Structures are given as structure tokens and as C-alpha cells.
Chains A and B, each alone.
Chain A
Amino acid sequence: MGFLAPWFLAGLAALGIPIFVHLLRRHIVVPQPVSSLMFFERGIQSSTRHKRLRYLLLFTLRFLLLLLVVLAFADPFIRRFANDTRSHLLLIVVDRSFSMRSGTRFSDAKQQALSLLASKPRSQRAQILALGGRVEVLTQPSPDSNLLRTTLEGIEAGDGQGNFGDLGRTIRTLNDATPGPVDLHLFSDMQKTGMPGNFADAVLPPQVNLTLHDVAKASTLSNWTVESISAPAELLDPKDTTKSHVQAVLAGANTPEAIKKVSLVIDGKILSSREVKVPANGRATVEFAPLDIKYGFNRCEVRIEGDDALPADNGSVFVVRRSDPQRVLFVHRSADERSALYFGTALNAASHGAFVLQSVAVEQVTDLDPNKFAFTVLSDATALPSIFEHTLEQYLSKGGSVFMALGLDAGRRTHLPLWGGDLKRVRNFASSEESAAVSQVDFTYPGLEQTQPGRDNGGWAGTKFLYAVMVDPSNARVAARLSDGTPLLLEKPIGEGHLLVFASGLENLTNDLPLHPVFVSFVDKTSQYLSGSEQLSGMRMVDSFVQLRNAAEASKSEAATSEVIDPDGRRPLSLKDSQKVQTFRFSRSGFYQIHFANGRSAVIGVNPDRRESNLEPMSQEIRALWTGSNAGAAEVEKAPVAGTKYQYVSLWWYVMLLAFVVAVMETVFSTRYLGTQREEI
């Protein structure tokens, strides 16, 4: 036993007070006068002795009270062996990531976890977590062995990626919510790729004692996988060899040089097979062309024949949709012929005929139905016929997409159709000496998406803008701004549709964008985004999300229904979720059928994260660093818990409780004593 705040023991000097009051101070007894002692006899029990006894009892209580208060401030503690684990929370984490499908890893992990659970003391609380894709807390802390065992047995291997950084974050959150010593047992194949780039993400709190249970039997396993697939999501003409081909990259981890047979399977039938020589620990590319596919969705897979350490990653699925070219409605001011020319040329160059532009003057659009087009472009057409404007509003609310460019005519208007706000003012840079440039570009926006934009701001730095219209950006996403801060590209969700506003014209009078190569890329990506063809097919990764409806529509009570059918043919969304859920997470690999809230349907191939295919375990140094990662922090903390033979339990609460009891007793005794004394005097 010791004291965490021993300097408070100086308060023991206060013990002199009751000693002085009770023992050193002379007690004065006031005798009571009586007329005569004729009828009185000396009492058997000495009154003085009786009082002295009461004094001593009161003195003891007061002495004890002061002593306990001083001890409580000094914060006493007892030291006991740290291996008394009954008070520790047993945290069992089972890795169910995709790599655990290799051999008997997952079953071994579950078996070892069940053995650990069976050996825990009956009163010890335990909690079960599953790692894979995201960390799932499967139970609350409970001593109920049956519940824990049932939960543990119910865990199944998943297709997600195990990230020890996510595990570290989850454990830190749990430990913040319910502090206390934790024994964490991780049953995993200890994949090297599971460790995050920043080791600090995986660091555990000081009170968590980590024990690693490696279920990977061999240190190095040879595994080949289809690392990546390059295939068109949409195909117009199978004979067009520029697009009608599939390129797959095969990669080997801890593999010798080998010749692997690779097949392209479409709708369950092997369309073509190739043999490719994969170097040791290297990559090889194989290409299949042309793609002889039917109209509609074609479920494709590139598969490596043969067996290896992880057969589940030998295939990679994707979807190619064959369709006819889609029409795009281009509405322009009658006097404006240039914008249609520039936009149409760029669209044709980018999509290779996937879209056909139908140019119409604004005065002729009254009877047109925008639902027959992939999307609609309004080029400086702010003076729309009211019937067509209403039709476009309906079209937008049901999931249509409109791209609106604001040219010279828009500057003369005060009202901006469809957007829901007035035009603020016109920025005319022609009158000034310097034109405006594009200064801010959101490269994560689908229409401007670039993975690695160059120093020229992704090609946008060279563009010059002489004219732009200020649009109210409230409730809109601003994807690009000019150098003076004027929003250039804005998107606002309306109903299930999208309204994209380009604050300048599509001709070369208001800007020189159509003369730059980035214009083609911009038109291509914007067209794909607005037509929605981008997300109707292709491939995704496990644990990625797909948007089923707009956020504004999700909050409505009578929202349109969306539907998801997973690779097993089941519907993971309940009826309520199908009307409310905004996004859906792909938790498994395979083909998902999706019916979006805007009425469109898609089939998407989902593949596991290819980092799971590298079965190389993390080094012993990293393991030692991780399991001992909390030792340094423990020394910083005042109460050492983990990593030592002893743990310290503070007793101040119990001491204060005892002091309270003594204080109550002292009050009762002193009240009785003082009350009697008053009456006697």
C-alpha cells in the first residue's frame, strides 16, 4: 500500500485538535445543588467515568474522521498482480477480411478464439469485434459465455480489406467511452498490407494489452491475382477495336516465374483464353479483343486458371453494357451557332459516337420531350418557353440532367430558369486589361475528375474568361471558380436529377475554353456524368458506396423506391430502407443488380481490394512494435497498468465512504452528548 499524494499526509497534524479537546483540555463539571442529600445515595456507576467513556468514544470517532479525510486526500492505493485479469475486459477481434479465405485461416481463427473464450473466468466480461472492410462491434461487454460463443460462431469470412489502422481507431473510441484495462486478442493472418501507412493510426491506448494470434501457417505463400482490369463500361460497336477490348494485369506475390492461362468469361461462357508468362514476383498484361457481346448488360470475368494460395482472387469481374448511341438535346439561342459546333465536336471526339447531338433553337423546343434524350444542354438559352421550362422541371425532378451555359444573352436577364434564383450581376472582363482565369478546380467532381492534375491546374490554367455571370451559389456545389472568386461551374441537385450551370458561354466569344484540349475532356466527363452511363455498369471495389438517390429526396416521406440485389440473389435492403437509404455499401464481391430511385437500372461487378491478395505477413519487428506500442505511453501515464507485473488500485473512494459513515456516527454521538450537557447545566 502507498499514497499517490503523500504530501497531503501533512494534514495528520490536525489530529492534535481532538487530542487537545478531549484529552488535554480540563473538563469542568458543574454540580447540581439540592436541598439535602438526606435521601440520596451514591450511584453504583460513576457518572464521571461514564462521561469519560463517552468522551473517549467521541474522541475516537473524531480522531478517526480526521485520519480518514487526510488519508483520502493522500490517495492511498494498493498494488496487486496485474495477472488478475478478472477485472480486465477481454476483447476478441476476429479478422474476416478477404485474405482470411486462404486455406483454413478463417476457421483456425474462429477455433482459437472459441478456445480462448472457453478458458476465460466465468465472471470476466468479454466483447467480440470483427475486422474486415470496417470494424464491426458484434456484442457489448458481457460475461455471458453462451452469447459470446454464439456470436463468435456466427462470424463469416468477408471480402473486405482488413485495416489495422481502423482497428486502432475503433479500440481508442471504445476505450474512451468505457475506460478500463483491456486484454485485446487479435486473431488474424497479420497481413503486411493491413498495417496503415501511418503507424500512429494503429497505436492502441495505454490500458490495452494486445496479444496477436497469427493463423497464417506459412510465412510466404505464392499467389497470383488479376490486379486490374481495363475495359469499357459501355460499348457501342463490338467491332470498334479502339474500345472493344479488355486489358488485364496479372500480378504475382512471392511467386516464381510461371505461365498462367487466363480466360475471359462473359455470362458464364469462356469467350477467349490466353497463356501469359508471369515473371517471378512480377506482372504481366493480357488483352482480349474484340468483345463479342450482346445488347444490354454483359457480366464479364477475367479468370486465372489453376490453383494457388488464395483461389478466391483468381478472378476479377466487371460489366460491359452494349447500347446504341444516345441523343443529347442541345438548345441554343437562335443567333448562337458556334456553341453547338464547339460542343458537338468535342462530344464526338471524346465519346467516339456514344452521343449524338441534336441541336435545336430555343424557339423550337416547345413540343420536345427531354425524356427521350440522355441529357439536355441549354446554351445561353435563358428565355425558355414556359411550357418547355415546366417540362424541364418535371424532367429534372424525375432524375433528368441539364447542363446550362450562361452566354451573352443571360447577362440581359434577371431570372435564371430552373435554378431557382436571380442572376446577381455580370462579370465583364473585356473592359478591363486582364481577363480572368480558372483558379480553383475541384478535381474530385465527376465532370472535372483528374487523378493527377499537372502544374497547369489540369489544363485549366491557360484558359481565359472575358465574361461570366454571377450565380447565387447557395445550396449548390461549386466545382470551379475564376480568379476573382466568381463561381464558374455549379451543380445543384433538383429532385432526383442534376442541374449543372456553367457561368460562361460554350462559344469562343465569352472565353477561349473551346479552343483548349481540356474542353474535350470536360465535355466527355460531363456527358458521361450527366447521362449516368458511368455508374450503370463497370466495376467497383468491395466496401465502396453507390448513391441510390439524392440527399434531398431521401428525406421525403414518399420517395421513389430503389432496389439492390446482391450476388446471391438476395435483397439486402428492407422495404423501409429501399425508400430511405441514400447510399449502399458493396460488402461482397460479385455482380450487383441495382435499380436506382431515378428509374435507371445498373449491373455492377464488385471485386475485393487487391491489397488482400498479397499474403505476405508483417515483420516481427512491426509486430513487436505494435504489441509494445502502448508501453511508452504507459510510463507517461501516472498509473501504470499494462506491461508491468503489478497494477495499482486507488482506495480513496472507499476511504471517503468510511469517513462519511464515521461522520454520521460522530454527529449522532455528539448531538446526544451535547444535548444532555446543556440540560444538566
Chain B
Amino acid sequence: MQRFLDPTVLAGISSLDLIAKTVVDGFVSGLHRSPDFGFSQEFAEYRAYVQGDDLRHVDWNLFARTERCYLKRYEGETNSQLVVLLDASNSMQYGSRKPVKADYARYLAASLFYLAIRNQHDAAGVIVFDDEVREYVKPSTRQGQLTRLLAALEQAEPRSRTDFLKPLEHFQALLHRRGIVIVISDFYEDPETIVRALEALRFRGNDVVLFHVLDPQELRPELKGPAILVDLESQQKIEVVPEYVASRYREKLQTHIEQLRTRTQAAGLEYQLLPTDQPLDTVLREYLSLRQAER
């Protein structure tokens, strides 16, 4: 089943639903051997009763033996809310191989939704944005929520350019309940601007994760000779020499990634770099880890 976590294999599947099911089923079957994760309704711990606790959770058998009130706590007892902020700007349509960044991001989002709704019974929603909010599906656990989310992903074709500050106010208005916020983007923006835009969500009690999606060719670009490059968002063209790409470009990109990682961690955000040739289980693992930490 691990084979179905490979992005190259997933690129051959047309249906997002099937992609998400393939990824999650493959991921979950691998979890049975893992000691770190488990399903909900499993016993977790005993906690001393405090006033106001629901008496339904008191372990009366223990009270009979010890004459003390203890509450029995279970894993996954509390449902989370997952909101995915999906960057659908033009820069996401770049890809030196299949899948391109936009598709990879959609696979990510679909797999997260499938895992959250079908396996964890969490509420899930999505906000598709570029320089404004293009699509919003309110988090919910209602019947047919997964279908709506996947339909929103299908329609999230890349266009326009990215702007984090502009749709920020909309994010805050839309996300009034705390939960897990996953931002999927290539983050071609100043790290300071990105952190400033997203740390407001953190202040509202959300666990914010940044999935930085980049094509391998963007991480390690190679040019055989001087070439003319055109920006997919601004359509600006410049002439570039291979020597620059092999040295200065990589330095600047690594600096950008390091700043992004440092600034997000400083702001209490999670950061994960995801080349599009990397399997999707990393993302799912990150989600479950956050969900457990949140509880």
C-alpha cells in the first residue's frame, strides 16, 4: 500500500476521492504497527473529579472499591476542526514533473479531509485563496461534507497571484472556532509577511501548520545555458545565466526556507517543507500528531 503514497503514482488517478481514500487507507494500515497513535474511544487515563465534571464519566466501579471519584478519560474523545487554507495562485501550477504543485496540494488537502472526516470524525473545511478568498467551505461533520470539500478542491484551478495579507481578515472572520489550520502554499512571499498574516490565527487558539510545497526543480534548479525565465504570476521576463542559478539562487532559496522555518517556530507555528516528489504520509502523520497534541 505504501506505493500508493507516492505522488507520481497518485498523479495517474483522476478522482480526488479515490486518491484520498487510497492515501489514507494505505497510511492507516501502516499505523497498526505504530505505538504512538491509536483510535478514539481507547482508555487514556484517570483524572480526579472536580466540580462541574459530568457525572456520566465517573468510574463507579473504582469509586466502589476506593470511595474516591475518578473520571475515566478516552483517546479521541474530543472532535477537532480542520481547516485547510489552499493557495491557488498561478505560481502553484509550476511543475517540472507530475504532479505539479497545485495537484500535489490538492492531493494533500483531499487526503487530510478523508482522514479527518472518515477516520477521526472531525469537522473539516477549506478556504481556497490567491490574492483573495475564492472558495470557502464551512467546517462541518454533516453528511456529504467530504463531497463538498473535494468539489471545492476540484474547482481550485490556479490563477492570479498570492497575497496573504489581503485575505487575512477573511480568515479571521471565518475561523471563529479554534482548531487545526493547515496552510498549503509555495510561500513566495517575505517570511515576515507570512508570519504576520498567520500568527493572528495562532492567537485565536488555532494550531497552524505551514506546508511549504516546492517542486524539486525549484529546490535544485539546473540550466544548461543562459535562458529567459518568465514569472507565472507577474509574467515578468528576465535573462538568467546558469552560474547564478547554481550558486546564488540556491543560497537565497535556502535562506528563505530557513527564515520561514525560524520565524514560524518563533511564532508558534509549525512548518513543513514538502517537495512534490515526497510521499504524502508525512503530512498525515503531522496532522495526527497535532491532533493528539491539541487534545
Contacts and interface: CB of A to CB of B under 8 A. Distances in A.
Interface of A: 29, 31-48, 50-51, 676, 679-680
Given A33-B232, A35-B94, A35-B232, A676 B224 contact: yes
Contacts of A45: 226, 241
Q: How large is the interface on B (under 10, 10 to 19, 20 to 34, 35 or more residues)?
A: 20 to 34
Most buried by B among A29, A36, A48: A36
A680 B240 CA distance: 13
The 5 closest A-B pairs by CB, nearest first: A47-B226, A43-B241, A36-B188, A35-B91, A31-B228
B249 interface: yes
B225 A35 contact: no
Interface in B87-103: 91-92, 94, 101
Interface in B144-172: none
B244 A43 contact: yes
Contacts of B256: 38-39
B174 interface: no
30 contacts: A29-B228, A31-B227, A31-B228, A31-B237, A32-B228, A33-B94, A34-B230, A34-B231, A35-B101, A35-B188, A35-B232, A36-B188, A36-B232, A36-B233, A37-B229, A37-B238, A38-B256, A39-B249, A40-B238, A41-B238, A41-B240, A41-B248, A42-B238, A45-B241, A47-B226, A47-B240, A48-B228, A50-B225, A676-B225, A680-B227
Nearest to B242: A43
Given A39-B249, A39-B253, A41-B240, A31 B224 contact: no
Nearest to A51: B226
Interface of B: 91-92, 94, 101, 186, 188, 215, 218, 224-234, 236-241, 244-245, 248-249, 252-253, 256
Contact of A680 (B186, B224, B241): B224
Contacts of A36: 91, 186, 188, 231-233
Nearest to A43: B241
B94 A42 contact: no
Given A35-B218, A39-B249, A39-B253, A47 B188 contact: no
A37 B91 CA distance: 10
A47 B241 contact: yes
A37 B231 contact: yes
A32 B241 contact: no
Given A34-B230, A50-B226, 11 more contacts: A31-B228, A33-B232, A35-B101, A35-B188, A39-B252, A39-B253, A40-B240, A45-B241, A46-B226, A47-B228, A680-B224
A36 B232 CA distance: 7
A32 B91 contact: no
Nearest to B249: A39
Nearest to B236: A37
A294 B106 CA distance: 138
A36 B230 CA distance: 8
A43 B231 CA distance: 16
A48 B236 contact: no
Given A41-B248, A44-B241, A32 B226 contact: no
Contacts of B226: 43, 45-48, 50-51
A47 B238 CA distance: 10
A43 B94 contact: no
Contact of A34 (B94, B225, B244, B252): B94
Most buried by A among B101, B232, B253: B232
A44 B244 CA distance: 9
Contact of B225 (A33, A42, A44, A680): A680
A47 B239 CA distance: 6
A32 to B, nearest CB: 5
B249 to A, nearest CB: 5
A35 B162 CA distance: 11
Given A40-B240, A43-B239, A32 B218 contact: no
Given A39-B253, A40-B240, A32 B101 contact: no
Contacts of A44: 241
Nearest to A37: B231
Given A31-B228, A47-B226, A47-B227, A38 B188 contact: yes
A38 B186 CA distance: 12
Contact of B239 (A35, A38, A46): A46
B80 to A, nearest CB: 32
Contacts of B186: 35-36
A35 B94 CA distance: 6
Contacts of B232: 33-36
Contacts of A31: 227-230, 237
Contact of B229 (A40, A46, A48, A679): A40
Contacts of A48: 226, 228, 239
B25 to A, nearest CB: 32
Contacts of A41: 238, 240, 244, 248
Nearest to B234: A37
Nearest to A46: B239
Contact of A33 (B230, B245, B253): B230
Contacts of B230: 31-34
B164 to A, nearest CB: 14
A43 B101 CA distance: 27
A660 B245 CA distance: 39
A32 B249 contact: no
A227 B241 CA distance: 103
B182 to A, nearest CB: 20
A32 B231 contact: no
B136 to A, nearest CB: 25
A34 B101 CA distance: 12
A182 B249 CA distance: 74
A37 to B, nearest CB: 4
A37 B229 CA distance: 8
Contacts of B224: 676, 679-680
B247 to A, nearest CB: 11
Most buried by A among B101, B188, B225: B225
Contacts of B252: 39
B5 to A, nearest CB: 24
